[in-house]
Amino acid sequence: MAQVLEFKLPDLGEGLTEAEIVRWLVSVGDVVAVDQPVVEVETAKAMVEVPCPYGGVVTARYGEEGTELPVGAPLLTVAVGASEPSDASDTAPAPATAATPRAAAPAPAAAPAPGPTPARASASASASDEASGNVLVGYGTGAPAARRRRVRRAPLSASPAAPALVREPVNGAAGPVPVVSPLVRRLAREHGVDLRGLTGTGRDGLILRCDVEQAIHRGATQAPSAVSAPAPATAPAPVMAPTASPAPAPAPAAASPSARPGVTRVPLRGVRGAVADKLTRSRREIPDATCWVDADATELLAARRAMNAAGGAKISLLAVFARICTAALARHPELNSTVDLAAREIVRLPEVHLGFAAQTDRGLVVPVVRDAQARSAESLSAEFARLTEAGRSGTLTPGELTGGTFTLNNYGVFGVDGSTPIINHPEAAMLGIGRIVPKPWVHEGELAVRQVVQLSLTFDHRVCDGGTAGGFLRYVADCVEQPAVLLRTL
């Protein structure tokens, strides 16, 4: 007899609490194998395929394409041990085509534990061959061989495994609220809920979406009672005949902006929503400043042409600037850091994980090149090309979009000279590169036409002062004008 197992949206990692169904890869009645991808979802980080840990016949799907589901919400049910589709009335509690409304979706709880849920536990003994347990982050089935265990990391300040981190005390605001998801912060902000007054039910006091929704519900139930509270008992007032009075004319209602013809509303979710939340947080928390300088890039372009003419892998201009950046950060490590508000410290980081802004059809993404300080120009070129192609095809993983320590932004590809970019929170700085164009320039005492580029550095003023930022930018400009300067640091 077939056993019907329910597969829920698993923990997608990186603090993500919900995902949007982009495309179903199976239909009701299809036979699926263990670990076969069954649905494509888009999170605030990337688009991923979700594999099903069970093998059998799909009996129901929950949620149509375009529906947002929280982590832990049912995705589909599978009849394990069945060779053909079962009767829907016996296998599925709801029609296969029924979409799960976002408002009715269950609130996400803490990250699912590696162990089986009660529904899976009852079937694990007899269906261990049909379940792999290998479903993304921290989510498993009843298969004992695939159990996963999460290790809680010690705080950075107490970790003996990271001696290269340098911490400095910094003056700032009080510690941050224990909230990971920007969606939870947005929900609280939209309903006027003070997160500092909530006690999180998640691990280590983490505030979850369900905590905010409960606070919203409590506020909604308390408001009517305060208005309708009975007045204290007093002597009855004399009865008077009602006096007819004309009702005031209703004020004309202002037309809603969305009611006007031609208005289009675009939901802020997925990658676009994640970018909006991150940029808003950066503007709110980071006191940034920008300095810029024009540099003669004629010699740099000539050096790059010579390197590419020598044979071997082609070196991109972005890779050359990345190599200059890593050398500049070695001389000015203050800019390769982050601010720990809870500990009131500046944390200087030993590795340079270099992010770079890439425009795709799905919006702006910032892939990260790991350990850029240890890579050659050829290696940087290859990694930039790989991550850019993955960004355009929508196959970047959450790990490739997080963990950056410094960002390079080549907005010159859009044909503009300068910009004051917003820092990619929680980093401390971003270098912007404008277009390289021929301009009149004084070269060796004479007016000449040279290839000129404008460089801008936006930095967190908490981690350093203008002298450090100016020294970093001046060194970058010197390497652009005289590439031989870079050789002294290699």
Catalytic residues: 461
What's the DSSP call for residue 253?
P
CB neighbourhood size of 278 (10 A): 18
Asked whether the beta carbons of 63 and 100 are under 8 A apart, the reply is yes
Distance CA 108, CA 277 (A): 20
What is the rounded CA–CA span in Å between residue 109 and residue 206?
Answer: 11
Task: Give the bridge partners for 41, in sequence order.
Answer: 21, 48
Distance CA 242, CA 250 (A): 22
The two structure tokens encoding residue 8 = 């829920």
CA distances for 375 relative to 148, 351, 378, angstroms: 33, 11, 8
The alpha carbon of 85 is separated from its chain's Cα centroid by a whole number of angstroms, namely 39
Rounded distance between C-alpha atoms, residue 468 and residue 489, angstroms: 18
Beta strands in 142-237 (DSSP E): 166-169
- The whole-angstrom separation of Cα 110 and Cα 11 is 9
Token pair belonging to 135: 């479903």
Count the residues in the chain: 490
Q: Do strands 368-369 and 429-433 pair parallel, antiparallel, or not at all (unpaired)?
A: unpaired
Instruction: Give the separation between CA 50 and CA 52, rounded to whole angstroms.
Output: 7
Please give the structure tokens belonging to residue 35: 């670990």
Dihedral sign, Cα of residue 116, residue 118, residue 124, residue 130: negative
Angle at 40 between CA 38 and CA 46, to 5 degrees: 145
Please state, in angstroms and rounded to a whole number, the distance separating the CA atoms of residues 470 and 335. 11
| CB 139 within 8 Å of CB 54 | no
For residue 426, whether the previous peptide bond is cis, meaning omega lies within 30 degrees of 0, is yes
CB within 8 Å of 244: residues ≥ 6 apart: none
3-class secondary-structure state, position 224 = helix
User: Strands (DSSP E) along 132-206, which ranges?
Assistant: 166-169
Nearest to 186 by CA among 17, 22, 421, 339: 17
Neighbours of 300 (CB within 10 A): 23
